[in-house]
Structure 1
């Protein structure tokens, strides 16, 4: 979970910076920085869970 939280913090910063640089709007930068990374962080968490589940179900390759 710590990995997910640190990823979210970095993502918030990147989302704000890119949006602000593209639009010049602090409000829009803040809105995008809160909404997009929050959604993406949830998706990332479930992606990690699905990936681990898929890895655990892999069959060894036949020799």
Structure 2
């Protein structure tokens, strides 16, 4: 759990640093550092749902038989 928390901190710090370097604005850097991880978390949720659906889909192989991908 500590590793996860430290990575979250690094993620927010990098987002802030990049935006601050590009804009020179603490306010914009702070806003992006807070909003980007939230949006990224939501996007990841839907990304995983799509991949779960792809994994469950039968896969055609030669001879017309189907196998489930695992």
Alignment correspondent of 1:15:
15
Q: Structure 1 residues 22, 52: CA separation in 2 closer, same or farther (over 3 Å shift)?
A: same
Give structure 2 stretches of 5+ with no counterpart: 64-70
Q: What RMSD, in angstroms, separates the aligned Cα atoms of the two structures?
A: 2.5
Normalised to the residue count of structure 2, the TM-score between the two structures is: 0.62
SS in 1 for 2:32: helix
The answer as to 2:35 corresponding to 1:35 is yes
Which consecutive aligned stretches of 4+ in structure 1 deviate over 3 angstroms post-superposition? none
Highest Rg: 1 or 2?
A: 2
Give structure 1 stretches of 5+ with no counterpart: none
Normalised to the residue count of structure 1, the TM-score between the two structures is: 0.67
After superposition, residues 44-59 of structure 1 pair within 5 angstroms as: 44-59=44-59
Q: How many residues align?
A: 59
* CA distance in 1: counterparts of 2:60 and 2:13, whole angstroms: 41
Kindly indicate which of the two structures has a greater share of residues assigned to helix.
Answer: 1
